[in-house]
Amino acid sequence: MPTERVDYRRIANDITEKIKSGELAPGTKLPSTRELAEQYGVHISTVNRSMSILKDRELVEGHPEKGVYVAEPE
């Protein structure tokens, strides 16, 4: 299994846990894609794939030119 496949899931799951635990509260702005890539030691495309998963899970929402924020729970 390629490392990227493991990495994007690891990042998505890590951020999911931070949201569920309350460490990242609704309305919190996530670090930029570049910052997350540096933090996790991965390529920007890996972070983008992780963000897609989080958006599919409805845990985050993107705002053009503003960033990605933790979504309000439904």
What's the full length of the chain, in residues? 74
CA distances from 41 to 2, 18, 62 (A): 15, 18, 22
Identify the pLDDT of residue 29: 98
Mean pLDDT computed over every residue of the chain? 93
**What is the dotted CATH code of the domain comprising 3-70?**
1.10.10.10
Identify the pLDDT of residue 73: 85
User: Which residues does the chain have with pLDDT short of 70?
Assistant: 1-5
Q: 24 in helix, strand or coil?
A: coil
Identify the pLDDT of residue 1: 47
Q: Tell me the whole-structure pTM to 2 decimals.
A: 0.89
Identify the pLDDT of residue 5: 60
For 36, counting Cβ atoms within 10 Å of its Cβ (0-12 exposed, 13-18 middle, 19+ buried), the class is buried
Identify the pLDDT of residue 66: 94
